[in-house]
Structure 1
Amino acid sequence: MTVSTTQGFVLHPGALSPESQRALLGEVLDLARAAPFYRPITPGGKAMSVETTNLGPLGWVTDARGYRYQDTHPQTGRPWPAIPQVLLDLWAQLADPLTPPDACLVNLYRGEARMGLHQDKDEADFGFPVLSVSLGDTAIFRLGGLKRNDPTRSLRLASGDVCLLGGEARLFHHGVDRILAGSSRLIPGGGRINLTLRRAGLAA
């Protein structure tokens, strides 16, 4: 089943089968050994509640110098691992068949981790959509509008769900209010992993 809005937000519940979820999680956790999860610091000096890493040629980072994309892990100095093929295939199927993503932000939510309302605005071309894949515990996802004070609605994103922000919704404010601990047994130790695919740089 696909649930969509006229503004370009599309939810694909259960897009990944349980077997595909387990295989993807195993690949992501293997890749995270080369690019370990860490807790970023915002430009204001506050530690984020999620742990992050990245996959692909570019990775989203934040520190005292601001929000940006770069081609190396800020702690190891090594290039980010490649994006798994299953994610590239999902992007080609649901987002853009011609231009692949060059960035995949991996957020790990555990305990009280959350993500405040924000827009994805650090990319070079907003014409490309954002594709988000959920693994593990269900998230209470909040979707707003172009203005921070626009009305919002809440959705549950379960393991295997995939959502897309394109068109007008590409710049909608969105965030994660909380994680429903214990709603999935997929991730060892519990929690949720969110994989956000973007085209961060200009297309060739």
Structure 2
Amino acid sequence: NNGIRADRVDREMLSAMKLAGFKYFAFGIESGNEQVLKNIKKSQDLGVIEDALKVAIELDFTVTLFFVVGAPGEDLDTVKESIALAKKYPIFDARFYNLIPFPATELYEWAKSNKYLIMKPEEYLNNSSHWDYKPVLATPEFPVEERAKALVLTRQARKEIRHDAMKRKLEKRLGPFSGMIANFYINDWVQAQLMHNGTLRRNLKRLYTKISF
């Protein structure tokens, strides 16, 4: 899925999307810190992002937020700001992506020229585990140990957000059982099965959609 820019929607557009049958979409937020957004040339501020998010939630959309962990100027505190923004609103999911510098990009040249890369591109590009769990660069303000800690914190934050969202969606239909099902859904073993079993994933998605909307 790709996230849409918050500054490209307004109440009129979101209302039209709702009437057309849209129920779910994602915003590409990238960071909950203004300076980091400027560093990556996002060209939108948090006020615009939050205004769009408030309208989307008011119109009862199921919203996911996309963030990047480790952008230029990032440190552990700015990652915590991203987590705080994700938890501020009743969203459905928040995905925090480990920053990956692709060759022939401005980001890669920045990391390479400053000697921030801690592994070769052929190593991290050919091993998908680095994309989620292992830092591939480090900066003076955000050393590798703190980057690893940030990825742990964001994974935990995502689990909490998904648990709360699942519980909210299901409690009208399932009452006290909603919390139990939410705990089951975010279990690491269950998530691993869903990742590797497309049939199970599709069936669970259909069931969830049927009982939650």
Q: Which has the higher helix share?
A: 2
| TM-score, structure 2 as length reference | 0.24
Q: Which has the higher strand share?
A: 1
Which one has a bigger Cα radius of gyration?
2
| TM-score, structure 1 as length reference | 0.25
